[in-house]
Structure 1
Amino acid sequence: MAKFAYATTTAIVFLILLPLSCSSESILHHHHHGGNSSVQKSDVDLLEFPLNLEYLEAEFFLYGSLGYGLDKVYPSLAQGGPSPIGAKKAHLDHFTRDVIEQFGWQEVGHLRAIKKTVKGFPRPLLNISAASFAHLVAGLLGVESGQDAVIRALLYQRAELKVEPYGITVAEFTNRISELRNKLGHEGLKDEGLVVPKHLGAEGKVSGNILVGDEYSLACGRTPEEILRIVYGSGNEHVPGSFYPKGADGRIAKSYLKNE
Structure 2
Amino acid sequence: MSTASHPSLLAPTEKVSAEQLETDRRILAFERSIQHINRRGFLGSMMAAAALATVGVGEARAQASVPITDVLNFALNLEYLEANFYLYASTGTGLSSSLNGGGAAVQGAPGKLPLDANTLAVCQALAQDEVDHIADLRSAITSLGGTPIPQPVINLAANGTITTQAQFIAAARQFTALGGSAYIGSAQLLVSNPAILTTASQILGAEGQHAGVVNYLAIAQGIVSPAIDGQDIPPSATNLFTADAVHALSPLRTPSQVLGVAYRVSSAGTINPPSGVTLGGFFPNGFNGNVKST
TM above 0.5, yes or no, is yes
Q: What amino acid sits opposite 1:68 in the alignment?
A: T
Q: 1 CA distance for matches of 2:284 and 2:255?
A: 17
C-alpha RMSD over aligned residues: 2.4
Over residues 130-153 of structure 1, what are the superposed CA-to-partner deviations in whole Å (9 max), with x where a residue is unaligned? xx2228986342341110110101
Over residues 205-257 of structure 1, what are the superposed CA-to-partner deviations in whole Å (9 max), with x where a residue is unaligned? xx72121112111111111101111111123451421211111111111xx28
1:192 corresponds, among 233, 237, 245, to 233
User: Could you tell me how far 1:97 is from its partner in structure 2?
Assistant: 1.2
User: Could you tell me how far 1:45 is from its partner in structure 2?
Assistant: 1.8
Q: 2 CA distance for matches of 1:158 and 1:64?
A: 18
Q: TM-score, normalised by structure 1?
A: 0.63
Alignment partner of 1:80 is 2:102:
yes
Match of residue 258 from structure 2: 227
Alignment partner of 1:111 is 2:174:
no
Does the CA contact (< 8 Å) of 1:79 and 1:122 recur in 2?
yes
Q: What amino acid sits opposite 2:277 in the alignment?
A: H
Q: TM-score, normalised by structure 2?
A: 0.56
Match of residue 25 from structure 1: none
User: Could you tell me how far 1:115 is from its partner in structure 2?
Assistant: 0.5
Over residues 112-167 of structure 1, what are the superposed CA-to-partner deviations in whole Å (9 max), with x where a residue is unaligned? 011011121110000113xx2228986342341110110101221233xxxxxxxx
Hey, which bits of structure 1, 4+ residues long, moved more than 3 A?
Answer: 135-138
User: How many residue pairs get matched?
Assistant: 179
Match of residue 27 from structure 1: none
Alignment partner of 1:126 is 2:148:
no
In structure 2, runs of 5+ residues without a counterpart are 1-29, 31-64, 142-146, 180-206, 267-273
Match of residue 248 from structure 2: 217
User: Could you tell me how far 1:60 is from its partner in structure 2?
Assistant: 0.3
For 1:251, what is the secondary structure of its paired residue? coil
For 2:256, what is the secondary structure of its paired residue? helix
Shifted more, 91-100 versus 223-232: the winner is 91-100
Match of residue 151 from structure 1: 214
Q: 1 CA distance for matches of 2:83 and 2:234?
A: 24
In structure 1, runs of 5+ residues without a counterpart are 1-20, 22-39, 160-169, 183-188, 196-206
Match of residue 61 from structure 1: 86
Over residues 22-73 of structure 1, what are the superposed CA-to-partner deviations in whole Å (9 max), with x where a residue is unaligned? xxxxxxxxxxxxxxxxxx86322221111110000000000100111112xx
Over residues 77-96 of structure 1, what are the superposed CA-to-partner deviations in whole Å (9 max), with x where a residue is unaligned? 21211220121222211221
Relative contact order, higher structure (CA 8 A, sep 6+): 1
Q: 1 CA distance for matches of 2:128 and 2:161?
A: 27
Match of residue 208 from structure 1: 238
For 2:282, what is the secondary structure of its paired residue? coil
Larger radius of gyration: 2
Tell me: CA distance 1:41–1:228, structure 2 relative to 1, closer, same or farther (3 Å): closer
Q: 1 CA distance for matches of 2:66 and 2:235?
A: 39
